[in-house]
Chains A and B, each alone.
Chain A
Amino acid sequence: MNISEKEFLAPGHRACAGCGATVGVRLALKALGKNTVAVSATGCLEVITTPYPETAWNIPWIHVAFENAAAVASGVERALKSQGKDAQVVAFAGDGGTADIGLQALSGAMERGHNLIYICYDNEAYMNTGVQRSGATPYGASTTTSPHGKESFGEDKPKKNIPMIMAAHGVPYVATASISFPEDFMKKVQKAKETDGPAYIHLHQPCTTGWGYDPSKTIELGRLAVETGSWILYEIEDGDFRVTYRPMERKMVDEYLLAQKRFKHLTQEERNRIQKNVDALCTELKI
Chain B
Amino acid sequence: MVKKVFTSNRAVAEAVKLAKPQVIPVYPITPQTTISEYLAQFVADGDLKSEYIRVESEHSAISAALGASGAGVRVFTATSSQGLALMHEILFAAAGMRSPIVLVDANRALSAPLSIWNDQQDTISERDSGWLQIYAENAQEALDAVLIAYRVAEDRDVLLPCMVCIDGYFLTHTVEPLEVPSPEEVDQYLPPYKPYAFLDTENPMSIGTFTDPDYYMEARYAIEGAMEKSKEVMVQANQEFAKIFGRKYDLVEKYKCDDAEIIIVAMGSVCGTIKDVIDSLRDEGEKIGLLKIRVFRPFPREEIKQVLENGSKVAVIDKNISFGMGGVLYNNIKAKTNAEAYGFIAGLGGRDITTEYVREIVEKTKNPTREIEWIGLKTEEV
Contacts and interface: CB of A to CB of B under 8 A. Distances in A.
B221 interface: no
Interface string A61-98: 11111011011111110111111010100000000000
A51 B90 contact: no
Contacts of B206: 50, 55, 57, 60-63
Contact of B201 (A39, A60, A74, A108): A60
Interface string B44-62: 0000001101111101110
Contacts, number: 157
Interface stretch (B70-78, B155-163, B233-241): B70-78
Nearest to B25: A75
Contact of A71 (B67, B69, B198, B200): B67
Contacts of A55: 205-206, 209
Given A76-B199, A82-B22, A82-B23, A52 B215 contact: yes
Contacts of A75: 23, 25, 53, 63-71, 75
B58 to A, nearest CB: 10
Contacts of B210: 46-47, 50-52, 63
Interface in A228-283: none
B40 interface: no
Interface string B155-188: 0000000000000000000000000000000000
Contact of B56 (A34, A76, A104): A104
Contacts of A85: 201
Interface in A97-116: 104-105, 107-109, 111-112
Given A37-B71, A62-B199, A74 B207 contact: no
Given A47-B210, A78-B53, A68 B205 contact: no
B60 A105 contact: yes
B67 A60 contact: no
B72 A83 contact: yes
Interface string B317-343: 000000000000000000000000000
Interface centre among B59, B67, B97, B201 (most CB of A within 10 A): B67
Interface centre among B23, B55, B209 (most CB of A within 10 A): B209
B270 to A, nearest CB: 35
B375 interface: no
A245 to B, nearest CB: 33
Interface residues of B, number: 43
A36 B245 CA distance: 43
Interface in B103-126: none
B204 A71 contact: no
B29 to A, nearest CB: 16
Contact of A37 (B75, B93, B201): B201
Interface centre among B71, B211, B212 (most CB of A within 10 A): B71
A53 interface: yes
A35 interface: yes
A74 B64 contact: yes
Contact of B23 (A37, A47, A79): A79
B303 interface: no
A147 B56 CA distance: 35
Contact of B55 (A36, A59, A71, A80): A71
A62 to B, nearest CB: 5
Nearest to B204: A60
B348 to A, nearest CB: 31
A80 B71 CA distance: 7
Contacts of A52: 209-212, 215
Contacts of B68: 75-76, 78-79
A81 B210 CA distance: 28
B89 interface: yes
Contacts of A161: none
Given A50-B206, A50-B210, A68-B59, A74 B53 contact: yes
A145 interface: no
Nearest to A47: B210
Contact of A105 (B56, B72, B93): B56
Given A34-B201, A51-B212, A108 B67 contact: no
Contacts of B51: 78-79, 81-82
Interface centre among A36, A47, A74 (most CB of B within 10 A): A74
A71 B60 contact: yes
Contacts of B368: none
Contacts of B53: 74-75, 78, 112
A72 B64 contact: yes
A63 B63 contact: no
A85 B198 CA distance: 13
Nearest 8 A-B pairs (CB), nearest first? A75-B67, A108-B56, A75-B64, A79-B71, A71-B60, A72-B67, A75-B68, A71-B63
Given A55-B206, A63-B208, A65-B63, 10 more contacts: A46-B210, A47-B210, A51-B209, A52-B211, A63-B209, A73-B67, A74-B55, A82-B23, A112-B54, A112-B55
Interface of B: 22-23, 25, 50-51, 53-57, 59-61, 63-73, 75, 89-90, 93, 97, 198-201, 204-212, 215
15 contacts: A39-B67, A52-B210, A52-B211, A62-B199, A64-B66, A71-B67, A72-B67, A74-B60, A74-B64, A74-B67, A75-B23, A75-B75, A79-B72, A81-B51, A82-B50
